[in-house]
């Protein structure tokens, strides 16, 4: 362990002299969080709305007011027929149109179930589905189960929906944990991948080969500085997320630090393994992006639901550590989950870290044995 600590001291001195690496590990993650946190947003707001109110009663005006005051829709135009609606949508002037038929108020007062039509521009399916949900929720809140956006038959049951952990359905609370995993994987893998390759390019690897230093001690010593810096960077972006995006912390900080540490062990191990394969920093950088960027972004459940992927890709996601990290991270910060309930994702991250660190040590031993 003394040899590993000596390597760690040497690496820390080198990082302190390399201001670019130090800046990348501590401040670039927070910058990326702010950039992507504001740029990536699945919330749909300010949907331009046209209204055709054929009834012109207090009840129909209440429905229109509910749409406009919801914060999701912006009243754009009052129209007189479908031709005007089609023209507005063709020009992308509106994305939705609310059509209230004649007799709406009378049928509502008679406890019948009048039909309200919502016409939505479907050129963007994701936005269209979201707008359908908004419209259904608004109509339900205006007049309860007597008004339905999809049926002329009053539903036999009264539905009460309760959303736990993210009652406002804010996409930031879904995206920010994924950004934390994404940024951690990128910075930790790239920084460690370049560390050993830099030794090769500078010609100092031969000196290390002659030193009385085992491969395991060298790998551990190389990992310690980047682990400490990456952990500090991750905690910093968690604090930034809490300040800028109102990310809650419903679990314990101790559990959060433990989960982040397990994930970083695997990320650092991946970077060290890459550095034993690549011969130049350019190749190491490209391999790091291939092994860290694409799987974390595409196959972790960060943006795309794993359950919606083809079966082959779902199987591949089992070897992506960010998949398990996201489960544990969201459980701690959003749900307040205890460590006892996170045994499976934590165990998977431990197995991954042991495998990649072991592979890095074996390859280094073969190359410099």
Q: On the CB side of 271, how many CA atoms lie within 13 Å of its CA?
A: 32
Check whether 102 has a pLDDT greater than 70. yes
* 166-170, 234-238, 337-341: segment of lowest average pLDDT: 166-170
Return the bridge partners of 74, or none.
Answer: 48
> What is the reported pLDDT for 105?
84
CA 321 to chain centre: 14
Q: Which domains does the chain have, with CATH numbers?
A: 2-40+170-368 (no CATH), 47-146 (3.40.1710.10)
The Cα–Cα gap between 32 and 299 comes to 20
Going by pLDDT thresholds of 50, 70 and 90, the confidence category of residue 352 is very high
The average pLDDT across 193-203 equals 73
Check whether 143 has a pLDDT greater than 60. no
To 10 degrees, what angle do helices 215-245 and 2-17 make?
50
**Residue pLDDT, tens place only, 314-324:** 999 999 999 99
Residue partners of 242: CB distance under 8 A and separation at least 6: 248, 249
**Residue pLDDT, tens place only, 27-85:** 667 666 776 666 566 667 889 999 999 998 988 898 899 999 988 899 999 998 778 98
Quick one: what percent of the chain has pLDDT higher than 70?
A: 79
> What is the reported pLDDT for 315?
93
Check whether 207 has a pLDDT greater than 80. no
Give the residue, 159 or 307, on which the prediction is more confident: 307
Q: Residue for token digits 């062990």?
A: 265
Catalogue the long-range contacts made by 102-109 (C-beta closer than 8 Å, 24 or more residues apart): 102/54, 102/55, 103/55, 104/54, 104/55, 104/57, 104/59, 104/60, 104/63, 105/55, 105/57, 105/58, 105/59, 105/60, 106/57, 108/59, 108/143, 108/146, 108/147, 109/59
> What is the reported pLDDT for 151?
37
Q: For residues 134, 135, 138 and 144, what is the CA-based torsion angle, rounded to 10 degrees?
A: -130
Tokens of 339: 């460590």
Phi, psi of 62 (to 5 degrees): -65, -40
> What is the reported pLDDT for 22?
64
Residue partners of 251: CB distance under 8 A and separation at least 6: 331, 332, 333, 335, 336, 337, 338
**Is the Cβ–Cβ distance between 135 and 87 less than 8 Å?**
no
Q: Report the chain's mean pLDDT, rounded to a whole number.
A: 80
Q: For residues 253, 258, 261 and 262, what is the CA-based torsion angle, rounded to 10 degrees?
A: -150
The Cα–Cα gap between 189 and 287 comes to 10
Check whether 161 has a pLDDT greater than 60. no
Going by pLDDT thresholds of 50, 70 and 90, the confidence category of residue 204 is low
- Say how many residues make up the chain: 369
> What is the reported pLDDT for 272?
85
Check whether 158 has a pLDDT greater than 50. no
Tokens of 341: 């309930």
Going by pLDDT thresholds of 50, 70 and 90, the confidence category of residue 150 is very low
Nearest to 208 by CA among 369, 21, 362, 18: 369
Check whether 292 has a pLDDT greater than 60. yes
The Cα–Cα gap between 291 and 219 comes to 19
Check whether 244 has a pLDDT greater than 70. yes
**Is the Cβ–Cβ distance between 250 and 333 less than 8 Å?**
yes
In what helix (H) or strand (E) does residue 48 lie, and over which residues does it extend?
A: strand 47-53
Check whether 233 has a pLDDT greater than 50. yes
The average pLDDT across 237-258 equals 90
Check whether 15 has a pLDDT greater than 80. no
Check whether 182 has a pLDDT greater than 60. yes
Check whether 367 has a pLDDT greater than 50. yes
Going by pLDDT thresholds of 50, 70 and 90, the confidence category of residue 256 is very high
**Is the Cβ–Cβ distance between 233 and 239 less than 8 Å?**
no
């Amino acid at each position: 362990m003394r040899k590993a600590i000596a390597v760690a001291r040497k690496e820390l001195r080198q990082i302190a002299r390399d201001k670019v690496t130090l800046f990348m590990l501590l401040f670039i993650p927070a910058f990326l969080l702010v950039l992507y946190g504001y740029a990536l947003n699945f919330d749909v707001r300010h949907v331009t709305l046209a209204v055709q109110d054929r009834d012109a009663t207090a009840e129909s005006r209440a429905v229109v007011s509910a749409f406009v005051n919801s914060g999701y829709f912006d009243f754009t135009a009052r129209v007189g027929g479908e031709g005007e609606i089609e023209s507005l949508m063709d020009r992308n002037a509106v994305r939705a149109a609310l059509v209230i038929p004649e007799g709406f108020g009378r049928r509502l007062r008679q406890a019948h179930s009048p039909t309200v039509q919502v016409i939505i521009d479907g050129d963007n399916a994701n936005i269209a589905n979201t707008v359908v949900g908004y419209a259904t929720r608004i109509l339900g809140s205006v007049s309860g189960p007597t008004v339905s956006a999809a049926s002329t038959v009053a539903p036999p049951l009264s539905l009460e929906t309760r959303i736990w952990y993210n009652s406002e359905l804010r996409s930031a609370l879904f995206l920010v944990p994924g950004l934390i995993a994404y940024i951690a994987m990128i910075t930790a893998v790239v920084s460690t991948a370049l560390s050993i390759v830099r030794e090769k390019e500078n010609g100092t690897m031969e000196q290390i080969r002659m030193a009385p230093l085992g491969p395991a001690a060298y790998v551990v010593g190389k990992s310690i500085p980047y682990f400490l810096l990456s952990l500090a960077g991750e905690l910093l972006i968690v604090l930034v997320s809490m300040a800028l995006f109102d990310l809650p912390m419903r679990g314990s900080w101790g559990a959060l630090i433990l989960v982040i540490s397990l994930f970083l062990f695997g990320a650092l191990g991946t970077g060290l393994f890459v550095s034993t394969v690549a011969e130049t920093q350019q190749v190491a950088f490209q391999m790091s992006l291939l092994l860290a960027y694409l799987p974390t972004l595409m196959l972790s459940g960060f943006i795309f639901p794993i359950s919606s992927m083809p079966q082959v890709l779902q199987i591949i996601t089992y070897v992506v550590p960010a998949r398990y990290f996201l489960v544990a991270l969201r459980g701690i910060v959003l749900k307040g989950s205890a460590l006892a309930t996170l045994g499976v994702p934590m165990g998977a991250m431990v197995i991954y870290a042991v495998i990649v660190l072991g592979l890095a040590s074996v390859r280094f031993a073969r190359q410099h044995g």
